[in-house]
A and B are shown apart, each in its own frame.
Chain A
Amino acid sequence: MENILKKLLNKPWIVIAVTIIISALLFMQMKQNSRMETDLDKYMPQDHPAFVYSDQAEEWFGINDGIIVAIENKNGIFNSATLDTLKQLTKRLQKMDEIEKADVTSLYTADNIIGTEEGMDVKAFYKRVPKSEEKLNELKHNVENNEMTFGRLVSYDETVTVIIAEIRDDVFTQEFYEEIHALADSYQTDDIKIHIAGRPIVEGTMALLGPADMMKMVPIVLLVITLVLFLTLRSVKSTLLTMAVVFFSVVWAFGLMATVNIPIYAVSTMIPVMLIAIGVADGIHLYSHLQLFLRENPDASKKEATLDMLQHMWKPVVMTSITTAVGFISLLTSQVYPIKYFGIFTAFGVLMAMVFSLVLIPAGIMIFGLPKVKKSKKDESNMETNLAYGFAAKILKRKSISIYVTAAIIILSIVGMQKIWINSSFLDKFEKDSEIVLTDKFINDHFGGTTTLNLILDSEGKKDVFKNPEPLKLVEKMQNQLENDLEVVGNSFTLTDYTKRMNKVLNADKEEFNVIPDSRDSIAQYLLLYEMSGDPENLNKVVDYDYAKLNVTFQLKSDNSKAINSAIAIIDSYEKDFEKQGISMNYAGSGYKGLIFTDLILEGQIMSLILSLIIVIILLSLMFKNYKIGLIGAVPITITALISFGIMGFLDIPLNTTTALLSSIAIGIGIDYAVHFIEQYRTNALKSDDMLLVAQKTMAHSGRAISYNAIVVIAGFLVLLFSVFPPNRELGALVSLNMFTSFVGTVTVMLVLLKVSNIYFKKTKS
């Protein structure tokens, strides 16, 4: 290894040329082949039983997420202008390519079935926009008397009416989003306001906004990091070369991704984040060593200096990179493909950063010369050394403080972790006062809810079960309990609602018949009649062709996991009752899939965290040929992860796809700090028996580099606090926090443990 590096040192131009050529090729691949995956369904493991069932159910019942277009008129909606807007918008939506005509529902498309003394009347609420007072009042009356419409398509206060347009899978694009908004805007007047909401909009906005915000922020992060890096390294050349390492490793990771034709997922946008945080470390440590060497040997040639740097530093650089890479590779245990890819390509990027650090930085020094060491800095460097020496001495003198404080923090963190909750909500990722959240709240205030949970009742192939009164009555009881007991459940809808409506209509619209009839023949005949006179398609959305499967849709006012779980808890309490009737229960729909998906991510995350911790301990034990070192080296990582989760618990930051992934960064960074520190400690211990001096020297060397590393990355990531997208802000805050705790953990409690364990000082116990 060392020999190869030495040989490469003689051909710096070739090294740089080859790197640039390959990078250029990969960059071209990236430009040509990279594509962003915005369809959230693609993120889910397709073969997971819950997803398989949900996908099937979505197919059976045509369950699609709907865009909700709400038309608001404070003076009431029953006037010609508003009704005309409703008609025009409905028609325009029906004509859009992304929307099936039959999948647009509004007061304009709905059937009104009304009972009369002698029979039954099936009519559209209106076709031509009513103009006269009399006709408008008739429409108003019809809406108010139809419980399948009132409160569902028209709000109870009659100031809002909605159009629900279900969109097909895979069609949400930036253009479509803009088209919908432009369409809505074009119909706004002084009186009529149009709001757009619904899960596709939320998902789409998030899929577009998150990465877009990241792309805006990353250059600023890079700029700040470059600046702070310059302030610490005090050399333009060193700064640029270190950043070049980061840049090339990112290009190679994404280039490889494009070459093997894997799309960029939302989590992939975290790869540069990881590589920036980890990639600068190698450079900082190399240059830090170089500076210290030059301080002691001001007259050394650039080749001597570089050789010394490589000789001393290649091992820790390789060790840190390999352990970090293995930490990321442990993400392969996840069931979620985007996370597997995230793990693989980050690991690849980390290894490339290692190669570039060991090859490109020396080549750069050979070509551009050594970074200048200014004489005037002598005092400052003495001050630095004194600070490091003093700090190390204090830490070792009061080692019990470190131990107790650490123990206290661990206990506190564990307490905090109890409060952690998982959230699969998309809306919670937006600002509380953002347009999207406010619109959602507006619609939730006026209607059943923007989030749907589908319960699929399945008689396991037994036909015509759901024409029987018993199961339908049980379903109705369940619907009532959810609607009454849970604030968050606004509405529910299934075959029972049709049956009750028909029963009422056919019995002269008398309210006492708004119940499920007692005989199966009645139900069958009502349904036949509904099919014959209404739109039979409507029934297909609630019951399958054989009346063997039922789809119950619950409308929730929040997509927050706590809300969905509270509904599921009540529904599950009916499982036994349904089982007695030979009916099984399953869930479907995007809200439920999101819930399962988040669980999967976390499960995988915790698994891989534990796994990587074990691997890291083993690797460290092997590298340093001492299992105690393995355990000690894992301490900063463990503390970092614990604090990270503990603080999330205390600050009520839920675990979600972004925050969960951050535990990986704790491992990646924590291990870097620990390995560099331990390696330096070992090297110093070989030369000296004075334990304090060894600690002080290590602190002045590795401790210094680690602090630079921490300062640089923390400064960079604090920039993310100014992001407009809350998850990116959380990311910035938590990465900074992780860097800080890793750093502090390494130079305090780990140093104390190194001393206490007496490793490398076996012969001469102090």
Chain B
Amino acid sequence: MKKLQITSVLIAIIFAIGFIPEVSGQSLTGEQIVEKAYNRATGDDQTSDLTMTLTNKSGNQRIRKIKQFTKDLGEVEKSIMFFLTPADVKNTSFMSWSYDSDQNDDQWIYLPALKKTKRISSDSKSDYFMGSDFTYDDLGDRKLEDDTHKLLREETIDGKACYVVESVSKDEDYMYIKTITWIIKDNFIGLKKEFYDEDEDLLKILSIKKYEEISGLLIITNSEMKNVQKNHKTSMVLNNVQINTSISVSKFTERMMMRGL
């Protein structure tokens, strides 16, 4: 058992360090850095308790507790989440299948009051996730080739050496004209990210408050997105994170949504 753990840690270390010898000779391009950040291993599946706290400009808060399951099936990533609190939305569930191809996400909602699952179709990945300050894109749906990446400089923030990469959207109508990401050199975690709107004004700042090593993988467990124009922020804290527990694919069905936890 212990051996297994050590092995996985070792694997993780090799995984993390593994790339470095390969590239140490030549310096990385912006695109390579972002690619490594996007492809950073986060496991095949994950179970966690998400506490999402929305704070408005007056300091009022809406706190939602959600149980979530995600599974990466290669071409498609499936996730399902169940609301635990507030009480009046308990057992409301939400499922999404997001595809590596250009296909739009498939999304379903189950409202216990309605006793029906409903398909939600949305034409944009720029939609905000559950009324938070995160868009689906911000949560990892963005694809490498959607932007032109450029390494601006190297900088140390919070005592961590980072690459600073600017990513400019190729699509002029995209909600962010560009983003600037501070990517930790050691592990390719995006530690901080600034989002600029169409007018090149700073719109949002993502900060990673905490990441933990779980089952040998680095998992971001506390992050905060702040919309500086609206003075609204969302904090996402993960607890009881379990990685690679071989969640069954059958978990991600409309029937399971209706059944609840």
Question: CA A127 – CA B124 in complex, angstroms?
Answer: 11
Cβ contact within 8 Å between B127 and A521: no
Contact yes or no, B121 A122, CB < 8 A? yes
If A60-B58, A528-B92, A545-B62 touch, whether A120 touches B118 (CB-CB below 8 Å) is: yes
Q: Are A521 and B61 neighbours in the complex by a CB distance under 8 Å?
A: no
Q: Chain B contact residues: over half helix, strand or loop, or mixed?
A: mixed
Query: Using Cβ atoms and an 8 Å threshold, which residues of chain A touch B128?
Result: 532, 535-536
Name A545's contact: one of B61, B108, B121 (CB within 8 Å).
B61
Question: Which residues on the B side are within 8 Å of A524 (C-beta)?
Answer: 86, 88-89
User: Which residues of chain A are within 8 angstroms of B118 by Cβ–Cβ distance?
Assistant: 118-120, 506
Interface assignment of B197: CB less than 8 Å from any CB of chain A: yes
Q: Which residues from chain A contact B54 at a C-beta distance below 8 Å?
A: 545
**With a CB–CB cut-off of 8 A, which chain A residues contact B60?**
544-546
Q: A95-B199, A532-B130, A545-B56 are in contact. Are A121 and B121 (CB under 8 A)?
A: yes
B187 to chain A, nearest CB (A): 32
Pairwise interchain contact B120-A120, C-beta atoms closer than 8 A: yes
Instruction: State which of B58, B88, B119 has its C-beta within 8 Å of the C-beta of A119.
Output: B119
B120 touches A122 (CB 8 A): yes
Q: Does B123 contact A (CB under 8 A)?
A: yes
In the complex, A544→B89 CA distance in Å?
18
Interface residues of A in 520-570 (CB under 8 A from B): 520-522, 524-526, 528-529, 531-533, 535-537, 540, 544-546
Chain B residues near A127: list those with CB within 8 A. Answer: 173
CA distance A464 to B131 in the complex (A): 18
Whether B131 lies near A526 (C-beta < 8 A) is: no
Kindly list chain B residues whose C-beta atoms are within 8 Å of the C-beta of A36. Answer: none
Q: Is the CB–CB distance between B123 and A124 below 8 Å?
A: yes
Contact B230 A521 (CB under 8 A): no
Pair A540/B56 contact, Cβ less than 8 Å? yes
A102 interfacial contact with B, CB 8 Å: yes
A519 to B88 alpha-carbon distance, docked (Å): 10
Across-interface contacts of B56 in A (CB, < 8 A): 540, 545
Q: Is the CB of B123 within 8 A of A532?
A: no
Nearest opposing residue in chain B for A520, CB measure: B88
Q: Does any Cβ of A come within 8 Å of B114's Cβ?
A: yes
Within the assembled complex, what's the spacing in Å between the Cα atoms of A464 and B88?
10
Shortest A137–chain B CB gap in Å is 19
Closest A-chain residue to B110, C-beta based? A525
B contact residues around A526 at 8 Å (CB): 111, 113
Q: Which of A89-128 contact B (CB under 8 A)?
A: 95, 100-102, 116, 118-124, 127
* Residues B113 and A522 in contact, CB atoms below 8 Å apart: yes
| Binary contact readout B57-74 vs A (1 if CB under 8 angstroms, 0 otherwise) | 010111000000000000
Within 82-139 of B, Cβ neighbours of A (below 8 Å) are at: 83, 86, 88-89, 92, 94, 108-109, 111-114, 118-124, 127-131
CB pair A532–B131 under 8 Å, yes or no, is yes
Residue of B nearest to A537 (CB): B230
What is the CA–CA distance of A45 and B171 in the complex, to the nearest angstrom? 50
A123→B126 CA distance, assembly (Å): 12
User: Shortest distance in angstroms between B230's beta carbon and chain A's nearest beta carbon?
Assistant: 7
- Residues of the A chain whose Cβ atoms lie less than 8 Å from the Cβ of B114: 506, 522, 525
Interface contact B61-A532, CB-CB below 8 Å: no
A199 at the interface (CB under 8 A from B): no
In the complex, whether A152 has a CB less than 8 A from a CB of chain B is no
Closest to A122 in B: B122
Q: Is the CB of A506 within 8 A of B119?
A: no
* B131 to A, closest residue via Cβ: A531
With contact pairs A467-B88, A524-B86, A532-B131 given, residues A506 and B111 touching in the complex (Cβ less than 8 Å):
yes
Is A120 touching B130 in the complex (CB atoms < 8 A)? no
CB within 8 Å of A: which of B27-71? 54, 56, 58, 60-62
Q: Which of A119, A525, A535 has most B Cβ within 10 Å?
A: A525
Residue of B nearest to A548 (CB): B60
Instruction: For the complex, give the distance between the alpha carbons of A540 and B62 in Å.
Output: 12
How distant is B227 from chain A, measured CB to nearest CB, in Å? 10
- How far is it, in angstroms, between the C-alpha of A528 and the C-alpha of B88 when the chains are bound? 10
Q: How far is the CB of B175 from chain A (nearest CB, A)?
A: 11
Query: Which B residues are in CB contact (< 8 Å) with A467?
Result: 88
Tell me if A101 and B197 are in contact (CB < 8 A).
Answer: yes
Contacts of B122 in A (CB 8 A): 121-123, 533
Contact between B197 and A525, CB atoms less than 8 A apart: no
Q: Are B113's CB and A102's CB within 8 A?
A: no
B120 in contact with A533 (CB, 8 Å): yes
Bound CA–CA A525/B64 (angstroms): 13
Give the Cβ gap from A77 to chain B, nearest Cβ, in Å: 22
State whether B88 touches A120 (Cβ < 8 A): no
Chain A residues within an 8 Å CB radius of B86: 464, 524
Q: Using Cβ atoms and an 8 Å threshold, which residues of chain A touch B129?
A: 532
Please tell me if the beta carbons of B131 and A119 are within 8 angstroms of each other in the complex. no
| Residues of A close to B58: CB separation below 8 A | 59-60, 545
Q: CA–CA, A519 to B86, complex, Å?
A: 15
Interface centre among A95, A522, A533 (most CB of B within 10 A): A533
* B199 nearest CB neighbor, chain A only: A95
- On chain A, the residues within 8 Å of B83 by CB distance are 528
Q: Which chain B residues (176-230) contact chain A, with CB distance < 8 Å?
A: 197, 199, 229-230
Let me know if B94 and A532 touch, CB within 8 A: yes
Residue of B nearest to A519 (CB): B113
When the two chains form their complex, are residues A119 and B230 in contact, meaning their CB atoms are under 8 A apart? no
Among B61, B88, B119, B120, point to the contact of A525 (Cβ < 8 A): B88
Given the complex, which residues of A lie within 8 Å of B113, measured CB to CB? Answer: 517, 519, 521-522, 525-526
Q: Which residues of A contact B123 (CB under 8 A)?
A: 122-124
From B83, B88, B94, residue with most partner A Cβ within 10 Å: B88
Shortest distance between the CB of B49 and any CB in chain A (Å): 18
Q: Roughly how many angstroms separate A517 CA and B124 CA in the complex, as a whole number?
A: 29
Which residues of B lie under 8 Å from residue A123 when comparing CB positions? 122-123
Q: Given that A120-B119, A123-B123, A524-B88 are known contacts, is A529 also in contact with B230, CB under 8 Å in the complex?
A: no
Contacts of A521 in B (CB 8 A): 88-89, 112-113
**Residue of B at shortest CB range from A527?**
B89
Which residue of the partner chain A has the closest CB to B124? A124
Instruction: Give bound CA distance, A95 to B177, whole Å.
Output: 14
How many Å from the CB of B85 to the closest CB on chain A? 11
Look across to chain A and name the residue whose beta carbon is closest to the beta carbon of B88.
Answer: A524
Q: From B118, which residue of chain A is reached at the shortest CB distance?
A: A119
- Shortest C-beta distance, B127 to chain A (Å), equals 7
Write the B225-258 contact mask toward A (1 if CB under 8 angstroms, else 0).
Answer: 0000110000000000000000000000000000
Give A526's nearest chain B residue, CB to CB: B111
> In angstroms, how far is the closest chain A Cβ from the Cβ of B57?
9
For A525, give the chain B residue with the smallest CB separation. B111
Could you tell me the distance between the alpha carbons of A506 and B61 in the complex, rounded to whole angstroms?
28
What residues of chain B lie closer than 8 Å to A544, measured between beta carbons? 60
Query: When chains A and B are docked, how far (Å) is the Cα of A78 from the Cα of B42?
Result: 49
Contacts of A116 in B (CB 8 A): 119
Q: Which residues of A contact B112 (CB under 8 A)?
A: 521, 525
Give Cα A506–Cα B109 distance, bound, in whole angstroms. Answer: 11
Question: Please, which residues of chain A bring their CB within 8 A of the CB of B199?
Answer: 95, 101
Assess whether A525 is in contact with B89, with CB atoms less than 8 Å apart.
yes
A136-179 contacts to B, CB under 8 A, are: none
Q: CA separation between A27 and B261, bound complex, in Å?
A: 79
| Given A121-B121, A467-B88, CB of A102 within 8 Å of CB of B230 | yes
- Return B156 CB to nearest CB of chain A, in Å: 34
Q: In the bound complex, do residue A122 and residue B230 qualify as a contact, i.e. CB atoms below 8 Å apart? A: no
Among the interface residues A60, A116, A119, which one has the most CB atoms of the partner chain B within 10 A? A119
Chosen A-B contacts, 21 in total, with CB atoms closer than 8 Å, are: A60-B58, A101-B199, A101-B229, A120-B118, A120-B121, A121-B122, A122-B121, A123-B122, A124-B123, A464-B86, A464-B88, A521-B112, A522-B113, A522-B114, A525-B113, A528-B83, A529-B109, A531-B130, A533-B122, A536-B131, A545-B58
20 additional A-B pairs beyond A525-B112, A529-B111, beta carbons within 8 Å, are A101-B199, A119-B109, A119-B120, A120-B119, A120-B120, A122-B120, A123-B122, A467-B88, A524-B89, A525-B88, A525-B89, A525-B92, A525-B113, A528-B131, A531-B131, A535-B128, A536-B131, A537-B230, A545-B62, A546-B60
Which 9 pairs between the two chains have the least Cβ-Cβ distance? A119-B119, A531-B131, A524-B88, A545-B60, A522-B113, A536-B131, A119-B118, A525-B111, A521-B113
